[in-house]
Every structure is written in structure tokens, then in C-alpha cells.
Amino acid sequence: MERPCDPAAQVHDSPASQARPLRPSELASCIDHTLLRRDASPAELLRACDEALRFGFRGVCVYPEHLGQVVSRLDARALAITVAGFPGGLEALEDKADQVRAAVASGAAEVDAVLNRDLLRQRDHARVLHEIATLVRAACPARLKIILETGDLTRDERIMAATLAKAAGAACVKTSTGLGHPGATAEDVALLRDVVGLDMGVKASGGIRDLQQCLAMLQAGASIVGTSASVTIMEQAMALGDPESLPGEVS
């Protein structure tokens, strides 16, 4: 299948892939600082952006209606990230593709789009592949991550969804929306990493609230962690007293 751009750039190339202790600055560079609240105020959005710049987070993930403020504040110093088909993923394909195109036109560097799980459950794998490939094309030159909602899928469905996402050219598979279903588990992250290999991103998201959970996801194979508890995680990391490294190794 033709891939219209390099979708995996800056997604799978992470310090978390190196088998050595992880520095706090490297930890921050793996985190998508997340503020997915419709009622987020302008002040909260500005604070999230300033936190991302202060700690060195990979990017800031917000709803499309908040993207303009985030793009302006970050000024390309961190990634502006938004969502499409969120959280259910059941929109008509063209509507979802329009959301992706609008996000990119507004300055999104990455779009996290929700998979249509109904098609997956119906085993209509050709349509799933077509949907993801269409969204990848709609996102170019930005990168597309596919949210699988692993907590709502069987193991076989997780494997198939990740396989199709890779075949369609997505930059990354993401575990969860964090809404309405169980969030990321280290076991799911390890499974997705086994399926997609080392040349595609795996984003753990949903229910990651502290440093221990964050490191567990990276150790399981995540290249990105999405969380609204980013500042808490970094404060815990820095409170360990060793600014050079965090306990344990990631691989």
C-alpha cells in the first residue's frame, strides 16, 4: 500500500527504546500532556502549554476547539495534538476524515483518531484497513495515531486492529480514549509492541496517574504515554533526588 508521507517520524524513535536508565528529561519527552476536557478554560489551556514547555513534554493533546490556542502558545516548541472521532469512533468515514483535515489545517502536528470498533467486530477487515488508510492520507503531512480502545476489545481483536493499523500506514497505535472503558495496561502495551514491532509507535493512555505506572508502560514497550497527570509524574521523578536517572531500565 502506498504511504503518502513518513507517518512514523518522531513517534517510534524514543529514548524509551534504549535499555538503560531513563533521565527525567527523557521521560518528559515521551509524554503527551493531555487536557481533554470540553470545559477547559483559556487559562487552563495556557497553563497546560506552559507546563509542557517548562518540563519538556512531547506535546499537548486537546479537543479540536481548543487547538488554535494551543498551536499559538506552543509556537512549534512542542507538538500540538488533537483527536478525531472521539470518543466513540462511529462517525461516517468522510466525517471523520473531515475532522482530521480540519485539525491539520488548524496546525495539529498529530491527530489521535478513534477506530470504528463495530467494523472490527464484524470482521470487516477490508473496511477497517480502508478507514485507517483514508485517515492517514487525510492527516498528511501530520501524523495519525489510531486509538484502539483495547479495554473494549478481545485479545484477538487487539492483535487484528494493530496489524491493520500498521498495514494502513498509521504512525502509532494508542491503547485507549480514557473515557468509558478500562485504560492502558502493561500487558496490552506489550502485546501491541509485539504486533507492530519496533518501527511503529505505541501510545499508552488511560488511567496513568503516577510515575510507577508511567515507567511500567515504557518498560512494557510504549514509546509515548498520554496522561493528564504529567506534572505529578515529573514531580515524583524529580523528588527521587537523582536528576540523572530513574530507577530501573526501559527496553
- For the question of residue 210 being annotated catalytic, the response is no
Q: What are phi and psi of 132, to 5 degrees?
A: -65, -45
- For the question of residue 145 being annotated catalytic, the response is no
Selected catalytic residue, list 96, 145, 166, 203: 203
Q: Which residues pair with 112 in a beta bridge?
A: 83, 145
Selected catalytic residue, list 112, 145, 166, 188: 112
**CA 128 to CA 148: how far, in whole Å?**
12
Selected catalytic residue, list 96, 145, 166, 174: 174
Q: 53 by DSSP, 3-state: which?
A: helix
- For the question of residue 174 being annotated catalytic, the response is yes
**CA 33 to CA 30: how far, in whole Å?**
10
- DSSP string for residues in 38-51: TT--HHHHHHHHHH
Q: Cite the active site residues.
A: 112, 174, 203
